[in-house]
Amino acid sequence: MTATHPSPDVQQYPAHFEPPHGSTWRTFFGPGLVRGAWMTVAGFLIGMLLVLALRWWWGWEPLWNTEVILVVGGMVLAPIGFLAGIGSFDYWLHYISGRPTRPEDHSGHGAKTWKDYFRVNTDHKVIGIQYLVTTFAFFTIGGLMAMFFRAELAQPGLQFVDSQTFNGLVSVHATLMIFLFIIPAFAGLANFAVPLMLGAPDMAFPRLNALSFWLLPIAGLMFVASFLAPGGAFGAGWTGYAPLAEGQPLGQTFFNMGVQWAGASSIMTALNFLVTIITMRAPGMTFWRMPLLVWANFTTSLLVVLATPFIAGSQFFVMFDRVMHTSFFVPEGGGYVLGYQHIFWFYSHPAVYIMMLPGFGIVSEVISSMSRKPIFGYRLMALSLLGILVLGFSVWAHHMFVAGMADWLRVPMMITTLLIAIPTGIKVFSWIATLWRGRIHLTTPMLFALGFVTMFVIGGLSGIYLGSVPIDIAASDTYFIVAHIHYVLFGGSVFTIYAGVYYWFPKMTGRMYSETLGKWHFWMTFLSFNATFFPMHYVGLRGMPRRVFDYDEAFGNMNLFISIASFVLGASFVLFVYNVITSWQRGPVAEANPWRARTLEWQVSSPPPIFNFDEIPQVVGGPYEYGVPGARHAILTPTKEAQKEAEEVHA
């Protein structure tokens, strides 16, 4: 299966499959957004009628139960209708029902106009961009929510919103950032880069890949739409602890179900990455020749497939308790309240690495190519990822040190938690050793990578405080936690996403971004980020709990300062958006390899050809052999001379 190449000569297939009907018929019944819209409505109505019919049949009162109808119609059948409508299932349904499938013409490949981004498209490069644009849209929404509640928090007491809205804003903010920004933005970058880096023409399952993407907007809209539900958005935090979540208004169901769609999307993508990485490596691309970004996504995907089913389970149980009156977590019914937290964190601790390992990969690429040096300790870098993967499953209860769980669990969980600092430390030290005596190009991606290294160290160190049970007892559930997660997720993950977007921007768009604006963006973000989140350590330790709209007068000035800094941080994002939009439209045309990097994606044109490689690349060495005389990562034109060269390198 290794890199089976379809013929690059696309013209021999019909460019588009023509249905045997007129154009109006096609608009309404052919795959696309119009059919998606009416099939969404149809899905909802079918669900509603199903619920009404069953309730009538069993004689249940009242006949109309909004929550049940919303779950079955609104959150299950309407999304399925939408997916079917836009054509995600067309190929499979034709195949299953024995009808002629659409000729395998790859007409879903490539994007000629912007409209092609609004179709089910199977090209991993298009899907990568679809992911990134969508996730940055949700990043904007989540960020605006943060601006809103930081305004509320600038002074003690309630000024702008009521307390349910406040809780809703905080909860939806965190949920969007995690499930609709960090996790899928990494999936988007990897979608674009990983097949290219492997020397593969696409992902292993392009149609599954397209489906994974289209599940995302569904999840995101569900989270945002919860604000319209009677009683307001879900307000039990992104952690949605039972039993609080079980007594929440209707909005909570939007969380329970939204997580299912986002989770399904992650699992499908992860399976796709695993199969792609295992089976579609170009000839010569052994595991020990894979770039670290590929290694990072390999480990992340393993984490996703093993852990994500647990959060799906936890949210189903809460929803069953709410809707079907089971009692998984209802103590009066024999339920086990702490059970929720164990299941939830069994996913959500590994999830913090799902939100970090791909960033480790990005930073390894950037630091190595911008320092013009091989990555320091390549094998240990890959092995430490695997170390984190294994240890990551043995530490979940460090989120429960004050939850009242069995006492004996605390010390073992503390030890495993502290041990994670070792592979993490190896990575940090190897990055800075890569800088040593390099020839450092301080471009925007490099600035973000170095910003990441320093900020992530702060986040990791505050993690060590929290890993020590006695300190955690004092610091848990305060603003100190808020500081910690923002140092690891903003200073960590978000900085690496920025680094990745700048780094691959020329490859994705074929144009160069503005370095000047990029540097302004970095410095403004870096400074206001620290001004916003560093003081949170202080107010937290001093006694300010997290997730509060009101606090002790004594923290007033500090919170005012934090809020002002957070507005600057919000404004810095505008620079980024402006840079991306204007550069995409009319930036200078990018070269194929502006960074002189060695990995395969840079050996093809910017943007790459429709099937990535016109010839199958032959991998002959490691990906970071900067400065090694005569070393090559791959040979792309297997002409006679190149063949000879390959043999020489081998010898």
Told to check if 311 binds ligand HEM by CB under 6 A, we report no
Quick one: what does residue 32 bind among another protein, Cu ion, ligand HEM, none, with the CB cut-off 5 to 8 Å set by partner type? none
**Nearest residue (CB) to ligand HEM, 10 versus 306:** 306
Q: What is the DSSP string of 197-228?
A: HHT-SS-S-HHHHHHHHHHHHHHHHHHHHGGG
* 393-412: contacts with ligand HEM (CB under 6 A): 398-399
CB 206 within 8 A of CB 126: no
CA–CA dist 78, 222 (Å, integer): 11
DSSP conformation class of 619: E
**Nearest residue (CB) to Cu ion, 83 versus 391:** 391
Told to check if 537 binds ligand HEM by CB under 6 A, we report no
What minimum distance in Å lies between the beta carbon of 570 and ligand HEM? 21
**Nearest residue (CB) to another protein, 103 versus 470:** 470
Give residues with Cβ within 8 angstroms of 644, minimum separation 6.
none
Distances (CA, A) of 396 to 280, 399, 437, 489, 589: 34, 6, 40, 18, 48
Contact characters 549-588, another protein, x per CB under 8 A: xxxx------------------------------------
Q: Residue from 51, 224, 290, 453 that binds another protein (CB under 8 A)?
A: 453
Told to check if 543 binds another protein by CB under 8 A, we report yes
Helix H or strand E segment including 479: helix 479-488
End-to-end CA distance of the chain: 27
Q: Residue from 211, 355, 363, 562 that binds ligand HEM (CB under 6 A)?
A: 355
What minimum distance in Å lies between the beta carbon of 636 and another protein? 20
Contact characters 358-397, another protein, x per CB under 8 A: -------------xxxx-xxx-x-----------------
The set of long-range contacts for 468-474, using a CB threshold of 8 Å and a minimum separation of 24, is 468/414, 468/418, 469/401, 469/410, 469/411, 469/414, 472/398, 472/401, 472/402, 473/401, 473/402, 474/541
What minimum distance in Å lies between the beta carbon of 417 and Cu ion? 7
Distances (CA, A) of 75 to 41, 68, 81, 254, 428: 12, 10, 10, 8, 43
Told to check if 349 binds Cu ion by CB under 5 A, we report yes
Q: What is the DSSP string of 45-112?
A: HHHHHHHHHHHHHHT-SSS--HHHHIIIIIIIIHHHHHHHHHTSSHHHHHHHTTPPPPPS--TTSS-S
What minimum distance in Å lies between the beta carbon of 423 and another protein? 9
* 330-349: contacts with another protein (CB under 8 A): 331, 335-338
**Nearest residue (CB) to another protein, 93 versus 415:** 415
What minimum distance in Å lies between the beta carbon of 279 and ligand HEM? 29
Told to check if 429 binds another protein by CB under 8 A, we report yes
Told to check if 54 binds another protein by CB under 8 A, we report no
Quick one: what does residue 488 bind among ligand HEM, Cu ion, another protein, none, with the CB cut-off 5 to 8 Å set by partner type? ligand HEM
Told to check if 167 binds ligand HEM by CB under 6 A, we report no
**Nearest residue (CB) to ligand HEM, 245 versus 356:** 356
Told to check if 455 binds ligand HEM by CB under 6 A, we report no
Binding segment (CB under 8 A) for another protein, from list 57-65, 184-192, 263-271, 468-476: 468-476
Ramachandran sector of residue 512 (left: φ over 0; alpha: ψ -120 to 50; beta: rest) = beta
Q: How many other β-carbons are positioned within 10 Å of the β-carbon of residue 106?
A: 18
CA–CA dist 139, 414 (Å, integer): 33
Q: What is the DSSP string of 293-304?
A: HHHHHHHHHHHH
Told to check if 414 binds another protein by CB under 8 A, we report yes
What minimum distance in Å lies between the beta carbon of 401 and Cu ion? 11
Told to check if 408 binds another protein by CB under 8 A, we report no
Q: Is 249 exposed, middle or buried (0-12, 13-18, 19+ CB in 10 A)?
A: middle
The type of residue at 337 is V
# residues contacting ligand HEM (CB under 6 A): 24
**Nearest residue (CB) to Cu ion, 109 versus 349:** 349
Q: Is 96 exposed, middle or buried (0-12, 13-18, 19+ CB in 10 A)?
A: exposed
Q: Residue from 460, 491, 535, 540 that binds ligand HEM (CB under 6 A)?
A: 460
What minimum distance in Å lies between the beta carbon of 298 and ligand HEM? 18
> For residue 616, what are its two tokens?
């199958």
What minimum distance in Å lies between the beta carbon of 317 and another protein? 16
Does residue 589 sit in helix, strand or coil?
strand
Binding segment (CB under 8 A) for another protein, from list 125-133, 254-262, 302-310, 535-543: 535-543
Cross-strand bridge partners of residue 634: 619
Q: What is the DSSP string of 297-341?
A: HHHHHHHHHHHHHHHHHHHHHHHIIIII---SS-GGGT--HHHHH
Told to check if 70 binds ligand HEM by CB under 6 A, we report no
Phi, psi dihedral angles at 394 (to 5 degrees): -115, 20
Quick one: what does residue 492 bind among ligand HEM, Cu ion, another protein, none, with the CB cut-off 5 to 8 Å set by partner type? ligand HEM
Told to check if 55 binds another protein by CB under 8 A, we report no
CB 196 within 8 A of CB 601: yes
Binding segment (CB under 6 A) for ligand HEM, from list 112-120, 188-196, 270-278, 459-467: 459-467
> For residue 63, what are its two tokens?
């006949």
Give the footprint of Cu ion on this chain (CB under 5 A): 349
Give the footprint of ligand HEM on this chain (CB under 6 A): 239, 352, 355-356, 398-399, 417, 420-421, 424, 460, 463-464, 466-467, 472, 476, 481, 484-485, 488-489, 492-493
